[in-house]
A and B are shown apart, each in its own frame.
Chain A
Amino acid sequence: MLEVRELSVSFGAVRALRSVSFEAEPGAITAVLGANGAGKTTLLRTISGLVKPTAGSVSFDGGSLVGRSVESIARLGVAHVPEGRGVIEELTVEENLRLATLWCLKRGERQAAIEEILEMFPRLQGFRRRHASTLSGGERQMLVLGRALISKPRLMLLDEPSLGLAPLITAQLMAMLQEQTDGKDITVVLVEQNARSALSVSHHAVILNLGQVVVSDSAAHVSADDDLRHHYLGF
């Protein structure tokens, strides 16, 4: 379980997160929603160690993540998929996938894991030896999701996976995400601008506004609350 307690982050005079607290359960998707500048990306970057908090704690399965290096947090089984389709463009599709297996899989297991992911995303099969820079937006998103899944993570942090994608591809990605988490011991924190799409696959929802948690409730309740949706989510 991921536990965030009284987490605060400041960039100079700007307070990006103010005493944020929430929990994300294993086997469930927790959507983090809110307008631009609400602090969603900063929250994920702080959990994965890219940003140092000014106060508060983050713990995963009982162990504190604050103060650990980004690499050591990743090696605990935390897969952070950053916004902007974070592929390494200069590496091939297969190299991008292989890179994620180096710390967690034995030499003999790596190729089989890559094949498994390429079967999961058949569209990437034909591009396996191509540089990731040649992929379309949807293909890149499949690659980063595949790269996150190949390490069999215990915690996935997804930052706006639907950004810039066509609605059909977004729906496919969300369905894929749901399929990958259902019945598995994996905790997913999904940051999304596309609140409707995120709520459709999530179990829990946290709404951030100006760096503060304003709502933390089940996704079903948030979806059903018209006032709340209109006020904070714009639909």
Chain B
Amino acid sequence: MTLFWDYTLDGIANGMIYATLALALVLIFRATRIIPFAQGAAGMLTTFIAFSLISRGWGYWWVFVVALLIGFAIGAVTQRVLIRPLAGKSELNPVIVTIGLLVVFEGLAGAIYGNASRGFPAAFSQRGLRIGNTTIAFSSFDVFIVVAVLVLMTAMLILFRFTTLGLRMRASAFSREIARLLGVRVGLLLTLGWGLAGIAGSLAGLLAAPTSSFSPYYMDLIFVYSFTAAVIGGLESPVGALVGGVISGLCISYVGGYLGSGLEPLGALALLMVALMARPEGIFARPPARRV
């Protein structure tokens, strides 16, 4: 039973990271109907930049903020320079561009930093917390992960639900043409949306690095797990990304714990298949429009 709780706590912490990257996918997909395959790699690149700055003696928290800002810039520039010119053309074009970008980001990181795995510092201790005489499989850093992700999710919720900027962004995402007819500067808001997704991707990279084998490819599997999370949640719902992330994290943790870590990717694939067969539109998909 102790193992079960250990795997559960581990699943929640990892699930929060998947939820963060899933949120990035949701933000972009619901606005542009594009799956940004390079989102994980962009998070990896900003984390490597953070690694460089920390190695040069910068304080962790300064680096943390700078990395999120670089993530925003990468997202915004990607949309403005590479994605925007593809509007109205074949749907395959952005797929090819984002896969190309994934290769470029990983190649760039490999060329600059090398392909070997290394350690990335954690903001807090990674030793399990003690409750009475028992040490649980949940560290101070895991608490930080949960808090950081919940803060990001709450900030996004406040932005989208309670601000006029969020209302404009949602309108631009749901119906670009009507939003434009109502005077909304949709192009600018789409760039902002990609920038926010870049922040979420960078946060996922920073949170995953200390617990992963930190190399130019460490976000690849995390992207697959996050994509699974986003699909489970409905691909258009930020809340769905959070719930899907936790479900993915738990399932993958149980598979890794009970069946062996080598089966984790297969576990994610099985989960994705079950989710697609049981509820292809996702848990938090929008209700269908009323037929009149």
Residues in chain A within 8 A of chain B (CB atoms): 48, 50, 69-71, 74-75, 79-80, 82, 86-91, 95, 98-100, 102-104, 131, 133-137, 147, 151
Contacts and interface: CB of A to CB of B under 8 A. Distances in A.
Nearest to B289: A133
Interface residues of B, number: 23
B277 interface: no
Contacts of B183: 71, 74-75, 100, 102-104, 151
A100 B183 CA distance: 8
B289 A82 contact: no
A102 B180 contact: no
A143 to B, nearest CB: 12
Interface in B167-203: 167-168, 170-171, 174-175, 177-186
B59 interface: no
Given A99-B182, A133-B287, A133-B288, 17 more contacts: A50-B181, A71-B183, A71-B185, A74-B182, A75-B183, A86-B175, A88-B174, A88-B175, A88-B178, A88-B179, A89-B289, A99-B168, A100-B183, A102-B164, A102-B183, A133-B290, A135-B290
A104 B184 CA distance: 11
A70 B181 contact: yes
B286 interface: yes
B179 A99 contact: yes
Contacts of A135: 290
A87 B185 CA distance: 18
Contacts of B184: 71, 99, 102-103
A197 B235 CA distance: 44
Interface of B: 164, 167-168, 170-171, 174-175, 177-186, 286-290, 292
Given A136-B292, A137-B292, A90 B182 contact: no
A70 B180 contact: yes
A102 B168 contact: yes
Given A91-B171, A98-B167, A147 B289 contact: no
Nearest to B168: A102
A216 B219 CA distance: 65
A50 B177 contact: yes
B181 A74 contact: yes
Given A89-B289, A134-B290, A100 B174 contact: no
